[in-house]
Structure 1
Amino acid sequence: MNSNWQWWQYFLAIAEHGSLSQAATSLSVSQPTLSRQLQSMEHRLGQPLFDRSTQGLTLTGFGGQLLEECHQMRSSAERLERLAAGLASTLTGRVRLAANELVALYYLSKILPSFMDAYPEVSVEVEVSNQVSNLDKRDSDVAIRMFKPSQLDLVCRRIMDIPLGFYASPEYLNKNGTPRSPEALFQHRIIGYDRDQQFEKGGQEMGWNISNEQFLMRTDFMPMHLELARHHGGIVVSHKSLCTAAGLEEVKVGIELPPLPIYLACHRDVQHNKKIRVLMEFLGEHLPKVLV
Structure 2
Amino acid sequence: MTEIDWNRARAFLATAEAGSLSAAARKLGLTQPTLSRQVAALEAELAVLLFERIGKKLVLTEAGDSLLQHARAMGEAALAMSFAASGRAEAIEGRVTISATDGNAAYVLPEIVARIRREAPQVTLVIIASNSLSDLQRREADIAIRHVRPEGDNLIGRLVRESTAHFYAASSWLARNGHPKSPADVAPHDFIGYEQSERFAELMRGIGTRATVDGFRLVSESSAVVWEMVKRGLGVGLMSREIALRTEGVVELFPDLEPPRFPVWLVTHRELRTSRRIRLVYEILAEELGRV
Same fold flag (TM > 0.5): yes
Q: Which runs of 5+ in 1 are unaligned?
A: none
Contact residue 182 and residue 254 of structure 1 kept, 8 A: no
Cross-structure match for 1:86: 87
Cross-structure match for 2:185: 184
Q: Which amino acid aligns with 2:250?
A: L
Q: Which amino acid aligns with 1:104?
A: A
Contact residue 189 and residue 216 of structure 2 kept, 8 A: no
Q: Which runs of 5+ in 2 are unaligned?
A: none
Cross-structure match for 1:274: 276
Equivalent residue runs for 1:13-28 within 5 Å: 13-28=14-29
Compared CA separation, residues 24 and 248, structure 1 to 2 (3 A): closer
SS of the residue aligned with 2:145?
Answer: strand
Q: Which amino acid aligns with 2:265?
A: Y
Q: Which amino acid aligns with 1:88?
A: A
Are 2:258 and 1:252 aligned?
Answer: no
Compared CA separation, residues 198 and 85, structure 1 to 2 (3 A): farther
Contact residue 98 and residue 127 of structure 2 kept, 8 A: yes
Cross-structure match for 2:195: 194
Deviation at 1:254, TM superposition (A): 6.0
- Distance in 2 (alpha carbons) for counterparts of 1:87 and 1:150: 24
Q: Percent identity?
A: 31
Deviation at 1:188, TM superposition (A): 5.5
Cross-structure match for 2:215: 214
| Range 52-61 or range 126-135, more displaced | 52-61
Compared CA separation, residues 5 and 209, structure 1 to 2 (3 A): farther
Contact residue 122 and residue 275 of structure 1 kept, 8 A: yes
Deviation at 1:181, TM superposition (A): 3.8
Compared CA separation, residues 137 and 63, structure 1 to 2 (3 A): same
Cross-structure match for 1:39: 40
TM-score, L = length of structure 2 = 0.85
Deviations 1:208-266 (A, max 9, x none): 99665431112233233333223322211112344354232222286412223211110
Compared CA separation, residues 74 and 207, structure 1 to 2 (3 A): farther
- Distance in 1 (alpha carbons) for counterparts of 2:24 and 2:227: 39
| Range 207-216 or range 43-52, more displaced | 207-216
SS of the residue aligned with 2:144?
Answer: strand
Are 2:162 and 1:161 aligned?
Answer: yes
- Distance in 1 (alpha carbons) for counterparts of 2:51 and 2:69: 15
Cross-structure match for 1:59: 60
Count of equivalent residues: 290
| Range 56-65 or range 258-267, more displaced | 56-65
Cross-structure match for 2:267: 265
Cross-structure match for 1:137: 138
Contact residue 181 and residue 254 of structure 1 kept, 8 A: no
Contact residue 188 and residue 211 of structure 2 kept, 8 A: no
TM-score, L = length of structure 1 = 0.85
| Range 220-229 or range 89-98, more displaced | 220-229
Q: Which amino acid aligns with 1:29?
A: L
RMSD value, Cα: 2.9
Contact residue 179 and residue 253 of structure 1 kept, 8 A: no
